[in-house]
Amino acid sequence: MTDGGVKILVTGANGQVGWELCRTLPVLGQVVALGHKELDLARTEEIRRMLRQIRPDVVVNAAAYTAVDKAESEPELARLVNAIAPQVLAEELRSSGGLLIHYSSDYIFDGMQQRPYVEDDAPAPLSAYGLSKLEGERAIQAAGCAHFIFRTSWVYGDRGKNFLLTMLKLFEEREELRIVDDQIGAPTWCRWLAESTAQVLAQSLGGPKSVEPARAENSGIYHMTAGGKTSWFGFASAILDSWEQKAGTKRPKLVAIPSAAYPLPAKRPANSVLSNAKLKARFGITQPPWDSLLRQCMAALTNRAPVSDG
C-alpha cells in the first residue's frame, strides 16, 4: 500500500467503461489511468514492466478486444488481449498481493436456456470472442490472485463504439432500420457499471484509503447488468422514443427481423439475460431497470454531443 492510500491502475482508460471509472474511483485512492497508447495489452512484456513500475494495489482491467465479428478472422489477437493479458495481470498481482477487477461477457454462454444465467451455469461460447473472454476468466482463476470478474452485457454509453451511438447516427441518416428482435438481453449503461464497480471495491477495501483490503474471501465471478430484459429491436425502439429529432430530420421506421435475416460472422446467444442475485446478496447492489438507465443516459446526452474515444 502506498503512503497516499490505495493505488488503482485503470487500463483501457479512454474506453466507455474506463472513462467512467476514472471519474468514479478517485474517491477510493490514487488513480493511474492508462489508455491503449500507454499500455497495449497485446504486448505481454510491456504489461509486466508497467505493473512492476507502477506497483498498483488494484488493477481495474477495462481494456478488451471487443470487435466480436472481426475476432472470427483474427482469433489469436482476441485471445492475446482477452485471455493472455488478463493472465499476465493476474500473475503479477498474485506476486504483489494486489487485487484484479476484470470485465467479462454474456457471450460466454450459448443462450439456449430460457431462464437468466447464474454464475455457475456451464459456459458454451458460440464465437471466437466469447471463447477468448471465457479463457480470460479461467486464466485469472488459475493464477490465484484476489479477483472480481464482472460479467456484463450490451454495454453502451456516450463514447466509443456501441449500439446506442450507432442508432443515434443512423436515425439521422436512414428512413428505415431493420433490427434483430430474437436476441434478448439487458442493455447496461457504462456509468452504472463503473459506479457499481466502485461500490464493490469500496466494500472490499473496507472504506476509502483502507490499509488492509479485505477482499480474498469475496473473490470470484459476479454478474453485473441492468435489470429487466429486451431485444435489440426493443432497445432501438426505446432509444428512438428518447431521441431528439433535428430540424428537417424524419423519424425513421423500425422493422423487427430475425437473426437469420441479418447474418454476421459471429453467432450471438439468443438469451443473454444474467441473474444478479449473487451480486445483490454479497454487496447489496440492486439492478435499476435497463430502460430507466437508458433515460438517464439520454438525459445526460442532451447537454453534450456524443464523442468518440479516438
Question: In terms of DSSP bridges, do strands 99-105 and 58-61 run parallel, antiparallel, or are they unpaired?
Answer: parallel
Residue 133 lies in a domain: yes
Q: Tell me the per-residue pLDDT of 42-66, one tens digit each, with 9 for 90 and over.
A: 999 999 999 999 999 999 999 999 9
* Locus of grid cell 446506442: 164
Q: Which three cell numbers stand for residue 310?
A: 479516438
Q: Tell me the per-residue pLDDT of 138-147, one tens digit each, with 9 for 90 and over.
A: 999 999 999 9
Residue 251 lies in a domain: no
Residue 262 lies in a domain: no
Percent of the chain with pLDDT over 90: 83
Which of these, 51, 43, 38, lies nearest to 7 by C-alpha position? 51
Contact 22, 43 (CB under 8 A): no
Helices 232-242 & 290-301, crossing angle to 10 degrees? 40
What is the spatial distance between Cα 209 and Cα 42, in angstroms, rounded to a whole number?
A: 32
pLDDT category, 98, cuts 50, 70, 90? very high
Residue 129 lies in a domain: yes
Q: Tell me the per-residue pLDDT of 232-269, one tens digit each, with 9 for 90 and over.
A: 999 999 999 998 776 567 889 999 999 999 999 999 99
Domain total in the chain = 1
Tell me the CATH number at 14: 3.40.50.720
The single-letter DSSP state of residue 227 is B
Indicate if 129 belongs to the active site. yes
Contact 219, 146 (CB under 8 A): yes
Residue 267 lies in a domain: no
Q: Tell me the per-residue pLDDT of 265-302, one tens digit each, with 9 for 90 and over.
A: 999 999 999 999 999 999 999 999 999 999 999 998 88
Average predicted confidence (pLDDT) for the chain: 91
pLDDT category, 216, cuts 50, 70, 90? low
CA dist list (Å): 65 to 80, 114, 156: 9, 28, 15
Which of these, 134, 131, 96, lies nearest to 267 by C-alpha position? 131
Considering the entire predicted model, what is its pTM? 0.92
Residue 298 lies in a domain: no
The active-site residue, picked from 65, 107, 117, 129, is 129
Residue 145 lies in a domain: yes
Residue 284's domain comprises: 7-160+187-226+273-288
Q: Higher-confidence residue: 136 or 161?
A: 136
What is the spatial distance between Cα 110 and Cα 211, in angstroms, rounded to a whole number?
A: 42
Residue 52 lies in a domain: yes
Instruction: Report the phi/psi class of residue 154: left, alpha or beta, with left for phi > 0 and alpha for psi in -120 to 50.
Output: left
Q: Tell me the per-residue pLDDT of 112-132, one tens digit each, with 9 for 90 and over.
A: 999 999 999 999 999 999 999
